[in-house]
């Protein structure tokens, strides 16, 4: 029923009388009112979710309407998947991949655009979640609301603003709000959790963080440190496992555990208030960490940079994600660092542009180029090797001994013993990968997987071999008094000495030792290795190769989880690979690695849409002199500190 209310113009125009009159009119007219104003305009009001013009209905607007996880809000065609079967790549034709029912996409929020900005009707919830965190913050700050609506929305806007601000403060401004959690790096996920804790406003809590600076540029480190200090000032205690120098210098108290790794560690070498430890006359504890913090030890800058011309890999028209028509040249025969703030395009260039196209060129000479216009210079390269932090094997049976090939020679030694030969056993008898000598109850794993309903799989020690992985008869054969199981339980350091007179084994183990992995056991399951450890095992296997010339090695942050001393060893290994006639291209934030490189390609200036450009390139000294480069800004400080220390020594 429609009611035309006239003669109430004054009361409908202002104040509480207006609201009372409207409510009264809506009640009398069954929810539909037409108001004729003094200027002749006609305003239609409806308290029902039905369009008075065409009769189209609209569901009640509530939170679940905007959730594709709810049947109420999900697209009726794809049920909130955004695609047509569960694993289909075909975009849903009804919602165009937006996953929500059409009505949810017809609710808009309007903001005041900047001068000359796009004056649209507003943004739907999908438009909003497609924004980066920085864009979302700018949008929320300029939402257009009446005074009454501002009062209603104030608590909601406060919560949204605080969460967006916290994520900005920990350097996540480049992430979009709808970014899949599965695509986040460990460091990004950790910082998001940290931002949520800041929003809770807890006091008296104990926070434990494991290397929160992983994957962070020095600029973003500063933001993270400020965030941690805010948490502390709220009355909380923060324990951080960290190798980053700036984070350590910001701490109040230091606990240094060592002195070495594995069997050589586990002891508190030094502990105390950081200022006291740094200003003491002597490093009485002999702590290696304090030696670097007190600048008694340092990772030296190379006396000269490699300047000889050995060709270039030239990429033209690189376009993917935030890279748009970029021309990028990579010098060969040098240690090259790819730098830039988080989200600036480094990984896109290394993985999707450089490695994909070089590897494709080697696989098929006529391979189609991906995301680039042209690629030249590959004739100067023999092969491309991506040394990332993916596991060295997919099963518990993979380990450093099998990956490097040392286990093949170890099995040969056991098969060559008189007792094994008398029994007619071949090397396969001493393998836990094939039937014969392994424990068949656990198939050589040493443990048995127990499937649990609604819970993660549980692994229990095999009760037949008691975790030794081999049959009882196999373990009766010994080499120099050790069974095959006892050999696999040796640390790499112990095994190198044990097989010192057998070059085929000791040389491989020496390579593992040189990467700082002496504490791992030969048979340590690949599934228990960290990403950094797996990466160094791969590097060690390359070091052992007799012929590695003209290889381009691509690495992604190999210093993750490394102490100063381990970083020093890593730099020596990378330099050794280059000395052999290879090219090493490494994504890195660690200033010690960056200052030791021959050439730098710096992406930026920001992350996400604000990045994807080359802001600086050249030697560390040249990049340090480049204005507008965040890397150059911090690198200049590192080079200046080194130069000052060198002049003091002279």
555 and 499 share one domain:
no
CB atoms within 10 A of CB 377: 16
CATH at residue 556: 3.40.50.300
Closest CA relative to residue 401, chosen from 503, 481, 520: 520
CATH at residue 445: 1.20.1580.10
DSSP assignment of 312-346:
EEEEEEEEETTEEEEEEEEESSSEEEEE-STTSSH
The pLDDT, as a whole number, for residue 543 is 86
522 and 550 share one domain:
no
Closest CA relative to residue 47, chosen from 1, 102, 9, 11: 1
481 and 597 share one domain:
no
The pLDDT, as a whole number, for residue 169 is 81
343 and 399 share one domain:
no
507 and 590 share one domain:
no
Residue 240 lies in a domain: no
State the SS3 of 223-285. Answer: HHHHHHHHHHHCCCEEEEECCCHHHHHCCCEEEEEECCCHHHCCEEEEEEEHHHHHHCCCCCC
From 526, 551, 586, give the residue that closes a domain.
526
Q: Which residues pair with 314 in a beta bridge?
A: 329, 376
326 and 422 share one domain:
no
518 and 539 share one domain:
no
The pLDDT, as a whole number, for residue 647 is 62
Residue 408 lies in a domain: yes
Residues of the chain with pLDDT under 50: 1-15
CB atoms within 10 A of CB 214: 22
Look at the chain and report how many structural domains it folds into. 3
**Residue pLDDT, tens place only, 604-642:** 999 888 899 999 999 999 999 999 999 999 999 999 988
Residue 43 lies in a domain: yes
From 509, 526, 543, give the residue that closes a domain.
526
Residue 174 lies in a domain: no
496 and 587 share one domain:
no
Residue 351 lies in a domain: yes
587 and 499 share one domain:
no
> In which domain, by residue range, is 492 found?
394-526
The pLDDT, as a whole number, for residue 65 is 93
401 and 520 share one domain:
yes
The pLDDT, as a whole number, for residue 512 is 94
Residue 201 lies in a domain: no
Residue 200 lies in a domain: no
From 470, 497, 526, give the residue that closes a domain.
526
Cα diameter, the chain: 115
Q: Which residues are CB-contacts of 442 (< 8 A; sequence separation ≥ 6)?
A: 448, 462, 464, 465, 469
The pLDDT, as a whole number, for residue 6 is 42
428 and 408 share one domain:
yes
The pLDDT, as a whole number, for residue 236 is 94
472 and 399 share one domain:
yes
Residue 7 lies in a domain: yes
């Amino acid at each position: 029923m429609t009611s035309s209310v006239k003669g109430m113009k004054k009361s409908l125009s202002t104040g509480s009388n207006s609201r009372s009159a409207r409510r009264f009119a809506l009640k009398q007219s069954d929810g539909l009112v037409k108001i004729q104003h003094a200027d002749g305009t006609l305003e239609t009001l409806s308290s029902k979710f039905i369009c008075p013009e065409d009769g189209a209905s609209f569901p009640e607007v509530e939170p679940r309407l905007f959730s594709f996880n709810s049947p109420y809000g999900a697209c009726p065609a794809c049920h909130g998947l955004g695609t047509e079967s569960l694993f289909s790549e075909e975009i849903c034709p009804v919602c165009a991949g937006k996953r929500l029912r059409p009505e949810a996409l017809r609710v808009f929020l309007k903001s005041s655009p900047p001068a000359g900005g796009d004056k649209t009707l507003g943004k739907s919830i999908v438009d909003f979640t497609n924004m980066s965190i920085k864009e979302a913050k700018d949008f929320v700050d300029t939402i257009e609301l009446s005074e009454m609506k501002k009062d209603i929305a104030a608590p909601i806007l406060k919560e949204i603003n605080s969460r967006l601000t916290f994520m900005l403060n920990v350097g996540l401004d480049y992430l979009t709000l709808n970014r899949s959690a599965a695509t986040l790096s460990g460091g990004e996920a950790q910082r998001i959790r940290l931002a949520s804790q800041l929003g809770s406003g807890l006091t008296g809590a104990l926070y434990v963080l494991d290397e929160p600076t992983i994957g962070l540029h020095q600029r973003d480190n500063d933001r993270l440190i400020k965030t941690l200090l805010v948490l502390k000032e709220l009355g909380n205690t923060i324990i951080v496992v960290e190798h980053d120098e700036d984070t350590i210098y910001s701490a109040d108290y230091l606990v240094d555990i060592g002195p070495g790794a594995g069997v050589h560690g586990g002891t508190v070498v030094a502990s105390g208030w950081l200022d006291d430890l740094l200003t003491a006359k002597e490093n009485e504890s002999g702590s290696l960490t304090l030696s670097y913090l007190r600048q008694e030890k340092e990772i030296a800058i190379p006396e000269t940079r490699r300047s000889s011309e050995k060709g270039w890999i030239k990429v033209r028209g690189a376009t993917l994600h935030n890279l748009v028509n970029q021309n990028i040249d990579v010098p060969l025969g040098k240690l090259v660092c790819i730098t830039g703030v988080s989200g600036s395009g480094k990984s896109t260039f290394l993985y999707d542009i450089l490695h994909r196209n070089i590897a494709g060129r080697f696989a098929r000479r006529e391979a189609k180029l991906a995301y680039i216009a042209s690629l030249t210079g590959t004739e100067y390269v023999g092969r491309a090797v991506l040394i990332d932090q993916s596991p060295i094997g997919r099963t518990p049976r993979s380990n450093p001994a099998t990956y490097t090939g040392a286990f093949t020679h170890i099995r040969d030694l056991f098969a060559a013993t008189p007792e094994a030969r008398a029994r007619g056993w071949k090397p396969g008898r001493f393998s836990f990968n094939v039937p014969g000598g392994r424990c068949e109850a656990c198939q050589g794993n040493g443990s048995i997987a127990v499937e649990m309903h609604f819970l993660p799989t549980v692994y229990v020690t095999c009760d037949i071999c008691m975790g030794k992985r081999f049959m009882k008869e196999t373990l009766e054969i010994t080499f120099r008094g050790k069974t095959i199981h006892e050999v696999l339980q040796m640390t790499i350091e112990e095994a190198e000495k044990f097989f010192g007179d057998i070059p085929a084994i000791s040389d491989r183990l020496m390579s593992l030792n040189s990467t700082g992995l002496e504490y791992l056991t030969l048979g340590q399951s690949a599934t228990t290795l960290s990403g950094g450890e797996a990466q160094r095992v791969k590097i060690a296997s390359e070091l052992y190769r007799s012929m590695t010339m003209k290889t381009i090695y691509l690495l992604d942050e190999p210093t993750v989880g490394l102490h100063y001393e381990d970083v020093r060893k890593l730099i020596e290994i990378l330099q050794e690979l280059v000395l052999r006639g290879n090219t090493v291209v490494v994504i890195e934030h660690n200033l010690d690695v960056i200052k030791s490189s021959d050439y730098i390609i710096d992406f930026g200036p920001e992350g996400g849409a604000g990045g994807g450009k080359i802001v600086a390139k050249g030697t560390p000294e040249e990049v340090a002199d480049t204005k507008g480069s965040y890397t150059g800004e911090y690198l200049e400080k590192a080079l200046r500190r080194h130069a000052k220390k060198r002049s003091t020594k002279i």
